[in-house]
Amino acid sequence: MTTALTSGAADLSGRPVAVSLTLPAPSTELGSAGIFAVATAGFAMCAALLAGCAPVGLSVAIVFLFAGPHNFFELRYFLSRVPSRLGPLRGFFLLAAGGLLCLFASHLCLTWLARQHIIEPAVSTLAYGGWNTLFILWAAGLVHNRSLQPPKRDWSLVWPAAFLCIGLNWLGPAWFGLALIYAHPLVGLWMLDRELQRKPDWRKAYRLCLAALPLLIAVMWCQLARSTPIDAQDFTTWQITNQAGAGLLTGISSHLLVSTHAFLEMLHYGVWLVGIPLLTMGISGGRFKPIPAARRSIRWQGAVTGALALSAFGVMILWAAFLTDYATTRDIYFLVAIAHVLAEIPFLLRAL
């Protein structure tokens, strides 16, 4: 787009001559990328400030407000990424769904057995180590399967890396589980980066923000390294500190741990509730991307609509349960939430 300017001038005989100058218009795309970068950086800094000042309060608030809605938007996003007919992708999605169901069911079973003291702590540790091993093998199988699909990738190092992770896991299965807790919010940031590949200027600005993220976390750690540990007198506070790793990282202030975890969770919710919905709607002209399976037949359309309606109803039920008994509901929610943690892996791989 250009802008034309006309000015008056005179030739050698003194007669006026119209001179037209064409100037390039300012780049709206660059401006929008700048706004996106400022908004992203501002959100991250506000989240870090809140997490540092009131880590427990922020953790309670964001789970109550955003846990249910973010599950709905994740489901909506995942359905929009499943092709209407699987075709050559059938093997990949069958492996993804089968592994997810088996890992989810076994995780629930192990957790119940451990909490009921049916199995000894030593046996529980071995069982979780076995679960971690199956999880790593499943994820490596998905990566290998994805590498064989067009565009084909040379991901031959996936199996050596998987066996290395399995060995590290058996050095401390509980540490591996804690690593998953802190790595999970980063998956959402990665998925947003993949969605931004259709907006190169935005993606450059976003990656600059991601590059500054370690610095922001380092500042948090410097400020909170000697902070007073959180006094976990009630069950909810104990849940929050334990989830952040206070039981394992005993030499680090629980205030720092909870602040870091709450900060990462805030970024995770921001991606799924704001970043990805607004981005996908903006690219598709202000509407959500259509769900391919819903266009197969009336029956499929009803199934998709029913799944989304059930998910929306679940959000209401979750809010009501939080209001009734926050601590118990939070405990059950994070036990079940392993399903959407697992589901993010195959959809991230499909975006690569």
Give a yes or no: residue 4 inside a domain: no
Q: What is the pLDDT at residue 3?
A: 47
Give a yes or no: residue 206 inside a domain: yes
Q: Which residues pair with 17 in a beta bridge?
A: 9
Contact between residue 246 and residue 255 where contact means Cβ atoms under 8 Å apart? no
End-to-end CA distance of the chain: 33
Which domain range does residue 216 map to? 30-351
With CA atoms as reference, report the closest residue to 332 among 142, 67, 119, 125. 67
Give a yes or no: residue 17 inside a domain: no
233 or 39: which carries more pLDDT confidence?
A: 39
Does pLDDT of 61 surpass 50? yes
Each residue of 149-191: pLDDT tens digit?
887 888 889 999 999 999 999 998 989 889 989 998 888 899 8
Give a yes or no: residue 316 inside a domain: yes
Give the total number of structural domains in the chain.
Answer: 1
User: pTM for this structure?
Assistant: 0.84
Q: What is the pLDDT at residue 133?
A: 96
What are the CA-CA distances from residue 43 to residues 47, 136, 159 (Å)?
Answer: 6, 33, 38
Give a yes or no: residue 320 inside a domain: yes
Residue 27 CB: number of other CB atoms within 10 A? Answer: 12
Average pLDDT over residues 278-285: 64
Give a yes or no: residue 135 inside a domain: yes
Give a yes or no: residue 16 inside a domain: no
Give a yes or no: residue 150 inside a domain: yes
